[in-house]
Amino acid sequence: MKIPDFQRAKREGKKIVVVTGYDALFARIIEQAGIEVILVGDSLGVVVQGKHDTLTVTMEDMLYHTRMVAGAAERALVVADMPFLSYQVSNEEAVRNAGRLIQAGAAAVKLEGGANVVERVQAMTSFGIPVMGHVGMTPQSVRSYGGYKVQGKGAEQANRLVEDAKALQEAGAFAVVLEAMPSELAARITHELAIPTIGIGAGASCDGQVLVLYDLLGLFDAFVPKFVKPYAHLKTDALRALKQYKEEVEQGRFPTDQESYH
Ligand code: KIV
Ligand code: NA
C-alpha cells in the first residue's frame, strides 16, 4: 500500500482496512492477516501506557513505537499519530515533528482538527510529508468536550464538520479519519470528498474502517465504546493461561520432564 493507492481504492470502491499497532510483534501479525495499513495511534497512551486520555503522549513515545512498527512492517503502510502539542504551536514545530516521525519509518502522519490545522497540513504536504486528517470526536480535545462524546449532532455542528473535512482535502490531506459521528453525516462527508474517509464509530458508508487493535482483540476492556466489535476475547484467554500457569507452578506440575533439560 502506497499513498496514491488510497485515492485508487476510493475510486474503485475497495474498502481500506486500518488497524492500530504499537510494536513489532503485532505489526507482523497484522501483516500476516493481510491488513495493509497500520496506524501507530496515540491511543497507546491509554491502551499501552494506562492513562485516561492521550494528552500526555510525547514525541519520544511516538518515535519509539513508530520505529518498532515500521521496523517490522515489510509491506504495510505505517501512519504515525502526531501527539498533543507536537503540531499545535506553529507550522515550524509541526513540520519538524512530522519529519521526525517520517525519519522513524512512518510513511505518513495523522493529526487531529479541521480548519484550525489547515495551515499545518499545507506546510507539511508542501514538503512531501503525507498527512491523514482526523475530524469528529478528536480525543486530544476531550477536555473541551467534557468526555468522549459523539460529535456532529445537529445541522450547525454537522455543517462545520463537512467544512472541516473539505478544508483538510484542499490543504492536501490524502485521507481523513471520521470518529464518533452519526452515520448519516459520515456518509455525506464521504460522498462530498474525493479523498477516502476512514471511519471509527462513523457507520458503514466510509471508504475504510479503523479500530484500536486491543479493542478488536478483546484485550482492553476498561472502556468499550459502542462502535467497538471484539473479534476475539484474548483477555479471557490470557487470564485463563496465567491462572493455570500460577496453579501449576504452585502445585509443582510445571515444569514437567517435557520442559526440562538433561
Ligand atoms: O489513536 C488512535 O488509535 C486513533 C484511531 C482510533 C483513529 O487515532
Ligand atoms: Na489518535
Q: Which CATH architecture has domain 3-231?
A: Alpha-Beta Barrel (3.20)
pLDDT band (50, 70, 90) for residue 205: very high
183-206 b/e (C-beta count within 10 Å ≥ 16 → b): eebbbbbbeebebbbbbbbbbebb
What is residue 134's predicted lDDT score, i.e. its pLDDT? 98
What is residue 31's predicted lDDT score, i.e. its pLDDT? 98
List pLDDT tens digits, range 41-76: 999 999 999 999 999 999 999 999 999 999 999 999
Q: SS3 helix, strand, coil % of the chain, rounded to 5?
A: 45, 15, 40
Q: Quick one: which H or E segment has residue 10?
A: helix 3-12
Q: Indicate which residue of 74, 92, 179, 248 is catalytic.
A: 179
Q: For the chain, which residues make up each domain, given as ranges?
A: 3-231, 234-262
Distance (angstroms) between ligand 2 centre and the Cα of 194 equals: 23
Q: To the nearest whole percent, how much of the chain has pLDDT over 90?
A: 98
pTM beyond 0.95:
yes
Give the span between the Cα atoms of 242 and 172, in whole angstroms. Answer: 48
Distance (angstroms) between ligand 1 centre and the Cα of 66 equals: 14
Cell readout for 4 is 496514491
Q: What is the ipTM score, two decimals?
A: 0.99
**Coil, strand or helix: which one is 132?**
strand
What is residue 28's predicted lDDT score, i.e. its pLDDT? 98
pLDDT band (50, 70, 90) for residue 223: confident
Q: Is 205 annotated among the ligand-binding residues?
A: no
Cell readout for 62 is 511516538
